[in-house]
Amino acid sequence: MPTTRLAPSPTGALHLGNARTFVVNWIMARQRGWRILLRIEDLDGPRIKRGADRQAVDDLRWLGLDWDDESSRQSTRTDVYGAAAHTLLESRRAYPCICTRSEIAQAASAPHADDGAAVYPGTCWGKFADMAEARAAAGREPAVRFHMPDETFDFEDRFCGHRRFDLARELGDFVILKGDGTAAYQLAVVIDDAEAGVTDIIRGDDLIDSTPRQVLLYRALGLADRLPAYWHLPLVVGTDGKRLAKRHGDTRISYYRERGVRAERMLGLLARWCGIAVDEIDLQQFTEQFDVLNVLKDRIVFTPEDDRWLTGK
């Protein structure tokens, strides 16, 4: 059965950009009769904020969203991801890496645009026969990195159209398992999506660079028959053109909720970003009027006027 997922990371509160992605994801699923899973992506240990998981669920419910099933939290699935990393080591698609912890920690999070992550120069590629040798050289547990072939990669995004990447030069080898045994975002997402039978992934276009990495993991793990379709939506940015973040003021859903903004008003703003000219709208009307072909193709700019309009000031 066609399946999609809402996958909040409890590394902070959901903001208007997240709200747009989750609402569009939900509407597309309900319009097309897809199954919706909720998956809390709580792998990013040090960046996880206490209570942010509950808050994310509250915010989604406040917007009117629901789901048909809930996946296990990623933090409970260390063994499953570890086994997949082991398979990739065995097949020589991945290799031990003993580069610094801070570099690996940065490389393991979901790589949203503006992060400026550098392409890994391949320092540890071909250096160690196995994990034991790398462990002995480093005096600690190595990380595991996936090796990118020197090839171009073409794919058809359902929303953005055709994309081409130079795998080795633009993306480079990437971390799939940290030295502490925690899986990196790329690996966990592929294992979870494949296992849950996710057929359609809808997310912000700041994650489009992750798609080639994830598709290569599907193939290397023998999961090519489960490859999903990808829909990358234009990102919501501030007036400086950067991904919505703290520097743009408080854009958390909970901030507006606390100010008494009604869900219909927030949905109204999200609807306008989807080409529906309304002030306020409920989720049902939004679902009836939504057409993915009308979603604005350019990045969406959230302005101080939008903020004043939302709060009625």
CB-wise, 15 or 147, nearer to ligand GLU? 15
Site for ligand GLU in 95-114 (CB under 6 A): 110
**Residue 289, Cβ neighbours under 10 Å: how many?**
16
Structure tokens at 115: 């992060």
> Which of positions 211-250 make contact with ligand GLU (CB under 6 A)?
none
Exposure class string for 186-220: b at 16+ Cβ within 10 A, else e: bbbbbbbbbebebbbbbbbbbbbbbbbbbbbbbeb
Q: Which of 235, 248, 245, 238 lies closest to 297, judged by CA?
A: 235
Q: Which is nearer to ligand GLU, 17 or 268 (CB)?
A: 17
* Binding range to ligand GLU, per CB under 6 A, among 4-12, 60-68, 96-104, 230-238: 4-12
Cα separation of 195 and 198, whole Å?
8
Neighbouring C-beta atoms of residue 245, cutoff 10 Å: 15
Is there binding between residue 85 and ligand GLU (CB under 6 A)?
Answer: no
d(C-alpha 138, C-alpha 98), whole Å: 6
Can you tell me the distance from the alpha carbon of 171 to that of 148, in angstroms, rounded to the nearest whole number? 8
* Complex with ligand GLU: residue 3 or 9, whichever CB lies closer: 9
From residue 156, give the alpha-carbon distance in Å to each of 13, 103, 151, 242, 267. Answer: 31, 31, 17, 25, 29
Of 71 and 128, which has the nearer Cβ to ligand GLU?
71
For residue 201, the cross-strand partners are: 230
How many other C-beta atoms lie within 10 A of the C-beta of residue 149? 10
Please give the DSSP secondary-structure letter assigned to residue 183: B
**For residues 210 and 276, which CB has a smaller minimum distance to ligand GLU in the complex?**
210
Nearer to ligand GLU, 6 or 97 (CB): 6
Nearest-approach distance from CB 79 to ligand GLU, in angstroms: 21
Rule CB under 6 A: choose which of 203, 213, 248, 252 binds ligand GLU: 203
Type of residue at 76: T
115 vs 282, which CB is nearer to ligand GLU? 115
Site string for ligand GLU, 156-195 (x = CB under 6 A): ---------------------------------x------
Interface region with ligand GLU, contact rule CB under 6 A, candidates 5-13, 59-67, 130-138, 264-272? 5-13
Range in contact with ligand GLU (rule: CB under 6 A) among 2-10, 141-149, 175-183, 246-254: 2-10
What number of CA atoms fall less than 13 Å from residue 70's CA on the CB side?
8
CB of 270 to ligand GLU, least distance (A): 17
Site string for ligand GLU, 12-51 (x = CB under 6 A): -----------------------------x----------
> Which positions touch ligand GLU (CB under 6 A)?
7-9, 41, 110, 189, 203, 207
